[in-house]
């Protein structure tokens, strides 16, 4: 029997790490993200995993092992599929992506696919009933920026007209999937390139692509995209305040990995957070990486703490180690202790490592935690 799932909404974000804290009193391993391909038809300048991309996928580990390890995760509630471009290879879709998604459906687990939406629509259509959230990064101020930045690290780029066509296909696919009933969530990264175009990007996401949610995350230098022009905290606050002034209030806007935290001693930081939390249809998500999520590479079985593998490296391998054991090891690590804080009054689980290293390298968040909880 397939378990029923509640509808995703601002009141039910399955990827919110605080859900486990409210239920169990502590964070739990509830989300596994699978890297299912090393192939991609783009080479974005801002790609967090660009260094891993290849021209041919290696052999995967046995699917029986993958599903066995998922069976062992007691509190598993969400699964994410990422790449590369997970929809690029028909072989990968058939042999890896679909079995994982079907497993999730049988267990009543929410699923998300991270796709660039440039693939022909008929490849997405058969998976509509298996995917709860179709997640796309949409950072393009102009079609020419897409044509350049989206293929920036590609030695031999497709013809310009072909790149323009892919952009049009992104918008069309998002709209068609949304109209077919899929929850499409478009993420925009805040950096110096997107800053001048935020209103245009937001309106395209809402009006042309018909997305159910606009996610906004500051961009941090990580791995492949380590030379990005990131925003200061003041620039980030200004950008988000601008977004709140012109956004469509009927569309869910989700902010994640914010570098502005409730334990700040800066009065404007706290005022900013009040503005965000009081805005209509706006949520702020605690970062799941390292709290509730691990990433598994289906080719090697290696496990990393998602999004900052360059910080932690491979923790363990699922071929010989259960995922729960990997998670327990990470939680006990010295590195995790630098960000392992919790302020119940504001439901905050602190920064992830990227945020801490970028903006707060000398801040002891355990000290901040004690101050906040003694108020």
Residue 13 belongs to a domain: no
Q: Which domain, by its residues, includes 106?
A: 18-333
Residue 346 belongs to a domain: no
Residue 374 belongs to a domain: no
* pLDDT for the residue 224: 41
Residue 248 belongs to a domain: yes
Residue 106 belongs to a domain: yes
Give me the number of domains the chain comprises: 1
Residue 135 belongs to a domain: yes
More confident residue, 2 or 205: 205
Cα(338)–Cα(311) distance, rounded to whole angstroms?
Answer: 13
Whether the per-residue pLDDT at 43 is higher than 80: the answer is no
Other beta carbons within 10 Å of 91: 13
Is 86 within 8 Å of 118 (Cβ atoms)?
Answer: no
* pLDDT for the residue 49: 67
Cα(30)–Cα(74) distance, rounded to whole angstroms?
Answer: 8
Least confident window among 34-43, 68-77, 176-185: 34-43
Q: pLDDT digits over 298-343, tens only?
A: 999 999 986 545 556 678 999 999 999 999 999 998 888 889 999 9
Residue 61 belongs to a domain: yes
Is 82 within 8 Å of 35 (Cβ atoms)?
Answer: yes
Average pLDDT over residues 73-92: 96
Residue 132 belongs to a domain: yes
Least confident window among 9-18, 224-233, 263-272, 363-372: 224-233
Band (pLDDT 50/70/90 cuts) for residue 223 is very low
The CATH number assigned to the domain holding 214 equals 3.20.20.70
- How high does pLDDT run on average in the chain? 92
């Amino acid at each position: 029997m397939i378990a029923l799932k509640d509808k995703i909404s601002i009141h039910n974000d399955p990827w919110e790490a605080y859900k486990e804290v409210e239920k169990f009193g502590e964070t739990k391993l509830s989300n596994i993200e699978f890297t299912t391909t090393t192939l991609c038809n783009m080479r974005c300048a801002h790609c967090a995993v660009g260094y891993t991309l290849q021209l041919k996928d290696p052999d995967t580990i046995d699917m029986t092992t993958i599903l066995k390890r998922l069976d062992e995760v007691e509190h598993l509630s969400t699964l994410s599929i990422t790449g590369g471009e997970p929809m690029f290879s028909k072989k990968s879709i058939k042999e890896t992506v679909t079995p994982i998604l079907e497993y999730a459906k049988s267990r009543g687990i929410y699923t998300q696919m991270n796709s660039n939406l440039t693939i022909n629509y008929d490849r997405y259509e058969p998976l509509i009933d298996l995917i709860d959230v179709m997640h796309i990064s949409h950072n393009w101020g102009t079609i020419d920026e897409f044509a350049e930045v989206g293929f920036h690290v590609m030695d031999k780029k497709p013809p310009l007209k072909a790149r323009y066509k892919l952009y049009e296909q992104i918008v069309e696919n998002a709209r068609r999937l949304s109209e077919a009933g899929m929850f499409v969530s478009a993420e925009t990264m805040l950096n110096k390139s997107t800053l001048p175009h935020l209103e245009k990007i937001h309106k395209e996401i809402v009006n042309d692509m018909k997305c159910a949610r606009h996610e906004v995350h500051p961009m941090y230098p990580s791995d492949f995209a380590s030379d990005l022009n990131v925003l200061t905290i003041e620039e980030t606050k200004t950008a988000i305040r601008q977004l709140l002034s012109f956004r469509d209030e009927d569309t869910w806007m989700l902010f994640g990995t914010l570098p502005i935290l409730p334990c700040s001693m800066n009065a404007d930081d706290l005022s900013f957070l009040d503005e965000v939390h009081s805005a209509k249809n706006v949520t702020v998500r605690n970062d799941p990486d390292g709290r509730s999520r691990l990433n598994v590479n289906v080719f090697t079985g290696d496990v990393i703490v998602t999004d900052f593998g360059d910080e932690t490296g491979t923790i363990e391998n699922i071929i010989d180690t259960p995922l729960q054991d990997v998670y327990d090891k990470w939680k006990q690590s010295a590195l995790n202790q630098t960000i392992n804080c919790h302020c119940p009054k504001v439901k905050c689980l602190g920064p992830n490592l990227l945020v801490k290293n970028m903006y707060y390298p000398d801040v002891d968040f355990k000290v901040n935690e004690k101050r906040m909880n003694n108020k």
